[in-house]
Amino acid sequence: MADNTTLYLVYVRGPQRRLDPAEFDRLLALDDGLYLICSGLSRSKVYHSVKHATRPEALLVAPLADDPKFMGMEEGALKALRAGL
């Protein structure tokens, strides 16, 4: 992750949960509606971009201080995270 970017954990609940990777610097799907987004945008801008794209029933956008630990997510997610998302 570059120094001027932030890693965000994003959860989207609703009928439209898929995010377009072209909308963000880097996007990694962890599970249905659960993403890691690496972006130079502020949390507010990421939140509003996801909100506009998905029109969610529920939405969470949280910055992470470090790479998360996880298991049982989408095939290749951990490998992609370790490779720099």
**What is the value of pTM for the model shown?**
0.88
Q: Which residue has the tokens 């790479």?
A: 67
Please report the pLDDT score of residue 1 as a whole number.
53
Comparing CA positions, the residue from 4, 2, 50 lying closest to residue 24 is: 50
Burial class (CB in 10 A: 0-12, 13-18, 19+), 17: middle
Of 1-5, 14-18, 42-46, 75-79, which gets the smallest average pLDDT? 1-5
7-66 pLDDT, tens digit each: 999 999 998 878 888 888 899 999 999 999 999 999 999 999 999 999 999 999 999 999
Comparing CA positions, the residue from 42, 33, 21 lying closest to residue 85 is: 21
